[in-house]
Copies of this chain bind each other. A is one copy, B any other.
Amino acid sequence: MRFGCAWYPEHWPRQRWAEDLRLMRDCGMNTVRIGEFAWSRMEPVDGRFALDWLGEAIDLAASFGIDSVLCTPSATPPAWLTSAHPEVLAVRADGRPEVHGMRCHYRPGSPLYRWFCKRINSALAERFGQHPAVLGWQIDNEHWQRSHDPDTLARFAEWCRARYGSLDALNDAWSASYWSQEYSDWSQLHAPPGSPNPGLRLAWHRFSTALTAEFQAGQVQTLRERIAQRQWITHNFHPHDDLDRAGLVDGLDFASWDAYAVDGPSFDPAQLAVEVERIRSLTPSRKVWIMETQPGSVNWKGTSNPTMQPGELRAAAWHMAAHGAEAVLYWQWRSAPGGQEQYHGTVVAQDGHPRPHYTEIARIGEEFKRLTTLLDQSAPVHPVAVIDRWADRFAIKHQRHHHQFDPAAHVRSWYAAVQRQGLSADLVERLGDQRPWSVVIAPQVHLADQPTIDRLRAFVIGGGHLLIGPRSCFKDDENALLAQRQPGPLSDLAGAQADDFYALETPVPLGGELGEGTASIFAERIGQVEREVAVWARYGQGHGWLAGQPAIIHRPTGKGSLTWCACWPDQELQRRLIARISRLAGIESSLIPPDGVTIVHRRGESGSFRVFINHTAQPQQVELGAVATERLSGTTASNLVLAPWDVAVVG
């Protein structure tokens, strides 16, 4: 288990370094991420490299037992570079060029910029590629680059030509006869304007992803040719979903995540689990690092930047570790005197002394160290998988129909229901050839590409239990409506299709054998159902077109089944639905935890155990059913008592 922080030695006088490293070691840290934005110090003058200070920092850290993750500095080109070559700076959608002083403000497609990146990366790799204390490399920082400059637009036209082959095919894919949008020459293509064609918008999104992937691939190659095999390469993704992460991992050993409580004062346990699991499944290694997380508050929220309450940092760290994170690194170690993020939370304050939560961080460090074997030699075991694709999120996000249909919140609501049932789930882009789950939830497989459909059908026909949500299979892979109603190519397995769909001004009651509940935000009206279909819930009175119609239907198929939840139900009804399907699939969830308590089962060489986390400010009790050992405290009991934000490792 790796534990550490982002350290920027370039902000501090050399004589301070040892004290910082001592404080890191004392709170159990064994890893620093380093060099991320330091290009101006690595190459202060065009072509003149200055890497000695970096070597000294790495060596000094190693002398404290702290290994380094080294970053390529491409997110922040130096002023000498951008002032001599302003054509490497991105152009925004409104036509204004980016200026020096920001991050990730370059054109990822610029050959010149790639040349400069290759030169500095080569120097870094040659110098540190064999360094024993360098664990691996991070490429750039939190990809989100897009540019609207003419060269990039020309690349977009090339990309379209390669994807569609002909303008006829492109016009057809984008339904370009709509509003006379048909293109008669490749040079007419442009980036999306304010309210663009959905086909164009998705294509531009994919192109922007591909351009950054190409930019990253060049960096990976530069490193691979120079670094030791044991050094790995990763990238740290972040909560904004501007690019499709699934298209940005080729060549990486694993993907990393920057975990911040974006939507509220605390981490949401479903959101955090979804994020960690989603990133973990991006590469075959099924590894994930938390490359950044907040020690206390952040500084960039529009309203206020509250801190984590005592215990919250520990709950979050253990939650991420339970879900597979092999490292938890805080951002950042110490407040830099200047720069854009003076108010961001840190481990030690501007004066170099620990903040109050240092003690809690030290406790996490101690626990991770003590249980490192248990964690390192096990992995989460989830009986359920949730399918979650950025392309679906992207398509829904820009055409929500109801503004509260946030596709990320929709996925999260299903994950939270899984957690309330005492279970946990993998988050996957697609079903692979191996399908270790008997229950798969596909809350919003919106773009019905053929491989996805084939795999879902194979899963059901092969005996799996599939739950699909509203808006399923509404469009094809080019963001065009299918000439079928939802759930399109799954309709035969569902035994029904949608008559229509509605944005809901007010919640609509649900009733039936799953009990009472409500549907909100969005609902589909299921038409005629086939004979073998069981109606598990119907809409009640309140919406004239929905009243009395099926809302959740279930159709068995041999050993498997397809269940279609045609609306967004409340969380308790979601939980009951998952419980029902899980029972059909033979999944035992003997433990229904109190609200706010999550359970993750891990298994491996180090044994089988469960991690219980109380994500609430109140104490909680869990009846284990049998006497068991809690590994952190070493105590034994059948009734687990969790203090506020407490963690228990049982089994």
Contacts of A181 in B (CB 8 A): 40, 76, 79, 100-101, 339
Q: Are A185 and B402 in contact (CB under 8 A)?
A: no
Which residues from chain B contact A353 at a C-beta distance below 8 Å? 485
Report A142-169 CB contacts with B as 1/0, cut-off 8 Å: 0000000000000000000000000000
- With both beta carbons as reference points, the residue of chain B lying nearest to A355 in the complex is identified as B500
Q: Counting CB contacts under 8 A, is A545 at the interface?
A: yes
Please determine whether B403 and A182 come into contact, CB atoms closer than 8 angstroms: no
Contacts known (A309-B543, A310-B544); A193 close to B99, Cβ less than 8 A: yes
Most chain B CB neighbours (cut-off 10 Å) among A45, A303, A481: A481
* Chain B residue with the shortest CB-CB distance to A300: B195
User: Considering the complex, which residues of chain A in the window 481-518 have a beta carbon less than 8 Å from any beta carbon of chain B?
Assistant: 481-485, 499-500, 502-505
A114 adjacent to chain B (CB < 8 Å): no
CB neighbours (8 Å) of A96 from chain B are 94-95
Flag whether A583 is at the interface (Cβ < 8 A). Answer: no
Contact B483 A340 (CB under 8 A): no
Instruction: Known A79-B184, A484-B351; judge A38-B177 contact (CB<8 A).
Output: yes
Give Cα distance in the complex from A399 to B307, angstroms: 16
Q: How far is the CA of A45 from the CA of B173 in the complex (A)?
A: 20
CB atoms of B45 and A350 under 8 A apart: no
- Binding-face segment, A21-29, A196-204, A417-425: A196-204
User: In the complex, A513 Cα to B481 Cα: how many Å?
Assistant: 62
Q: Do A299 and B179 touch (CB < 8 A)?
A: no
Q: Which residues of B contact A622 (CB under 8 A)?
A: none
Digitize A346-382: 1 where CB-to-B-CB distance is under 8 Å, 0 elsewhere: 0001111101110000000000000000000000000
Q: A356-B499, A356-B500, A403-B302 are in contact. Are A338 and B178 (CB under 8 A)?
A: yes
Contact A37 B178 (CB under 8 A): yes
Interface 1/0s, chain A 436-478, versus B by CB < 8 A? 0000000000000000000000000000000000000001101
A187 interfacial by beta-carbon distance below 8 Å: yes
Contacts of A179 in B (CB 8 A): 37, 76, 101-103, 339-340
> Is there an interface contact between A198 and B303, defined as CB atoms closer than 8 Å?
no
**Inside 8 A of A187's CB, which chain B residues have their CB?**
83
Could you tell me which A residues sit within 8 Å of B by CB distance?
Answer: 8, 10-11, 37-41, 44-45, 73, 76-80, 83, 94-96, 98-103, 173-185, 187-188, 190, 193-200, 265, 296-297, 299, 302-307, 309-311, 335-340, 342-343, 349-353, 355-357, 399, 401-404, 475-476, 478-485, 499-500, 502-505, 521, 525, 543-545
9 sampled A-B residue pairs with Cβ under 8 A: A37-B180, A44-B184, A76-B180, A79-B181, A79-B182, A102-B179, A175-B337, A265-B505, A309-B543
